[in-house]
Amino acid sequence: MQRTIFTEEHEQFRKMVRDFIEREVAPHREEWDEMGRPPREFFRRLGELGILGIQVPEEFGGGGESSFKFNTIVFEEVARAGVSFGSYTVHACLILPYLLEYATEEQKQRWLPGFADGSIMTAIAMTEPGTGSDLANIATSAKLSEDGKHYIINGAKTFITGGVTADLILTVCRTSPFDPENRRGGLSIIAVPTDSEGFAVGRKLDKIGLHQQDTAELSYTDVKVPVENLLGEEGAGFGYLTHNLPQERLSIALNQVGFAEAAIAHAIAYTKERKVFGKPVASFQNTKFVLAECSAETQAARVYVDHCLELLDRKELTVADAARAKLFCTEVSGRVIDKCLQLHGGYGYITEYPIARLYADTRVTRIYGGTSEVMKTIISKDLGL
């Protein structure tokens, strides 16, 4: 189906990203899989090309683009090539809205130039060992020092994407005692430099998939951070998290549609080449019907997320509609990739085939960014239930 959301400028950017992947990313896929993340200089290279700072204002060294469509092109090209940009999505798509919306002018001057050129990589630490999707139950504490000039942070975080790579981590803390009558109150976001005394990266978690995206446990033991690193207002953190969830969840949805499209392309190529009983697998009616189903579902998801993308650019994408997009697209990609793997037969289970990596990488998308069950809860509330 013809898409109408991209201009010639977008397509020129797409060609640049595609060429970059072919030259500088695809040849290193296996090496980076073993490392568990791309090398640090890779992010500097993304910065040089302007990929990290697409939406960073020009006065801070970025591209000054307000549209999320350029980020979407990166998602699509990464999926098409079967590679990874490590923690790119967290850095460029999840963290930046917090800095643009809530950082002071001084904080922007301090952080955004490095954010854009790749010298400051970022992550966000919400999830705790005892707290998953229930962010109101966060226990990590941040107390003011006696002189009132620093926060003293204590606690632990887990499942933090980019936690090993990051130089600055937006840490969700409790700055006032837990109030059962107002569970969402008292949360704040504090930017913690990872070279702070008392901060430590624990285990780098060994995952089923997403092997080039580092995921870690973090610990905070009397970590001393200047009060100037508070993002926005103290106690307003839960509202900030909610405000930025639509873009985070749409990012996941967009990624997953790209994965589903890539899976179909791999299945078509494989079934045309592979022969069973003397005939190409693609010639059997079952293969044609399965791929037809996959194509119909994926096209429907593509049209929906393209529309959501337009809404996001107009700042009209609601929390509930972003939840619908994430729920629908992650469920679709799960079904489509599973069917495409089945068409590969035994080779679909071998990791040298792209479909196997897609299968492993996509499962977590129904968990992170809010589980599918949480998405259903949000949608049902929007229905007045």
**Enzyme catalytic residues:** 248
How far is it, in rounded angstroms, from Cα 113 to Cα 69? Answer: 22
| d(C-alpha 365, C-alpha 385), whole Å | 25
**Which residue's structure tokens are 């624990």?**
202
State how beta strands 168-174 and 215-226 pair. unpaired
Written as one string, the DSSP assignment of 305-354 is: HHHHHHHHHTT---HHHHHHHHHHHHHHHHHHHHHHHHHTGGGGGSTTSH
Six token digits for residue 78: 């990464």
- The phi-psi region of residue 118 (left if phi > 0; otherwise alpha if psi is between -120 and 50; otherwise beta) is left
Question: Beta strand pairing status for 168-174 and 122-125?
Answer: parallel
Q: Is 190 helix (H, G, I), strand (E, B) or coil?
A: strand
The two counts, helices (H) then strands (E), for the chain are 12, 10
User: Minimal CA–CA distance to 345: which of 356, 358, 333?
Assistant: 356
Alpha carbon distance 208, 363 (integer Å): 9
Furthest CA-CA distance within the chain: 80
Q: Which residues are registered as beta bridge partners of 139?
A: none
Measured CA to CA, the distance from residue 385 to residue 381 in angstroms comes to 5
Nearest to 229 by CA among 168, 177, 184: 168
Return the structure tokens found at 326. Answer: 């994430």
| Distance set, CA 29 to CA 17, 212, 357 (Å) | 16, 8, 11
Residue 174, strand partner residues: 141, 187
